[in-house]
Amino acid sequence: MLEKEFQYYLDHQPELVEKYQGKFVVIQDEKVIGIYDSEIEAYTKSIKENELGTFLIQEAQPGDKNYTQRFHSRVIFS
């Protein structure tokens, strides 16, 4: 749903990290529409002017650890 926004982040990650490392970048329609100090601030301010589900909030950090998640389960499949 937000593939183009995420791809924009990946394509511009080095320059976004250089400018905004540690900040939360809001991306919509392949452009940065906001920079915030916290994820909650990015969310609450972005939903005031943009429809939920139309923008991506991403922390500007180097590498892939801030946008990949691993989930572990104790379920055993047979």
Structure confidence by residue, pLDDT tens digits, 11-56: 999 999 999 999 999 999 999 999 999 999 999 999 999 999 999 9
Interatomic CA distance for residues 20 and 38, integer angstroms: 12
Q: Where are the domains of the chain?
A: 3-59
Spatial CB neighbours of 58, under 8 Å, sequence gap ≥ 6: 6, 9, 24, 25, 27, 66, 67
> Looking at residue 17, what DSSP letter applies?
H
Beta carbons of 55 and 28 less than 8 angstroms apart = yes
Does residue 27 or residue 67 have the better pLDDT? 27
- Structure tokens of 68? 């990949």
Instruction: Grade residue 66 by pLDDT with cuts at 50, 70 and 90.
Output: confident
